């Protein structure tokens, strides 16, 4: 009986981690870190920065998430976990197209500094490449998201060595990388190779983009 309760608790924990720290939230988290932790990343006031983070949240999380829910309601997908690789194609394709549209829409905005542009383009690249790979292989979008965030923070720390405020975001990102990887494996949502593939994709693209282009 204790083993059953333990397994039930672990299953609940894994599901909560999967739902709460899912990839669509990563752009919001990254923009929040860049705007509020990197000095000189923008000339916006704190209120302006909060508005930008809110805009990113709506365009990269709320609208895509509502679309995925719509796919579930209309039975395009069986459930929100989308364990079948083929079920992921339609939602991932829509999200990729939407991120590309948002990239073009915000390109000319006054608040879009070179650092913010590189950040959003890198995020969009991870989304589009993840979608492309999904046509042949079930790569983990969750680990692509969290390891991409880790890549951003490590690259920002290296590109802006005078910044002393990234320790806590870094520690949180490292913890989330471990927790999300464990959750996806525990739920049998991915194989170790799929988890590793997502992690490498997210980290390499995001880390490399900041160091090369920011």
Which range in 11-20, 70-79, 100-109, 176-185 is most confidently predicted, on average pLDDT?
A: 176-185
Rounded mean pLDDT of 157-181?
A: 90
Q: How confident is the model over 11-64, as pLDDT tens digits?
A: 899 999 999 998 999 999 999 999 999 987 888 899 999 999 999 999 999 999
Work out the pLDDT band at 100, boundaries 50, 70, 90: very high
pLDDT of residue 151: 97
Q: Which residue has the higher pLDDT, 78 or 120?
A: 120
- Structural domain tally of the chain? 1
Find out whether 195 and 185 touch, Cβ atoms under 8 Å.
Answer: yes
Under 8 Å CB-to-CB from 92, ≥6 apart: which residues? 127, 130, 131, 134, 141
Cβ neighbours around 162 below 10 Å, total: 6
* Percent above pLDDT 70 for the chain: 95
**Is the C-alpha dihedral spanning 142, 53, 59, 108 positive or negative?**
negative
Angstrom CA distances, 92 to 60, 132, 133, 181, stand at: 13, 9, 11, 20
Q: Give pLDDT, residue 1.
A: 46
Per-position DSSP letters for 87-104, written without gaps between them: HHHHHHHHHHHHHHHHHH
Q: With 60 as the cut, is the pLDDT of residue 6 above it? A: no
pLDDT in tens, 108-125: 787 888 899 999 999 999
Decide: pTM greater than 0.75: yes
Domain ranges, residue 57 = 2-213
Q: Compute the Cα dihedral for 62, 98, 91, 205 and give only its sign.
A: negative
């Amino acid at each position: 009986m204790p083993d059953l309760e333990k397994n039930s608790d672990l299953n609940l924990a894994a599901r909560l981690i999967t739902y709460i720290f899912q990839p669509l939230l990563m752009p919001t988290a990254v923009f929040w870190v860049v705007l509020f932790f990197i000095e000189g990343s923008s000339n916006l006031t704190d209120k302006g920065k909060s508005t930008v983070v809110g805009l990113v949240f709506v365009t990269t999380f709320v609208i895509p998430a509502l679309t995925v829910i719509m796919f579930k309601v209309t039975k395009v997908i069986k459930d929100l976990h989308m364990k079948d690789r083929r079920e992921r194609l339609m939602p991932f394709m829509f999200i990729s197209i939407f991120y590309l549209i948002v990239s073009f829409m915000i390109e000319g905005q006054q608040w879009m500094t070179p650092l913010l542009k590189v950040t959003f383009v890198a995020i969009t690249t991870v989304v589009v490449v993840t979608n492309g790979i999904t046509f042949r292989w079930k790569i983990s979008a969750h680990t692509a998201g969290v390891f991409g965030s880790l890549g951003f923070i490590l690259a920002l720390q290296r590109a802006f060595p005078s910044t002393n405020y990234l320790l806590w975001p870094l520690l949180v990102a490292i913890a989330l990388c471990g927790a999300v990887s464990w959750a996806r494996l525990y739920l049998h949502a991915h194989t170790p190779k799929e988890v590793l593939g997502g992690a490498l994709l997210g980290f390499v693209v995001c880390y490399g983009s900041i160091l090369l282009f920011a």
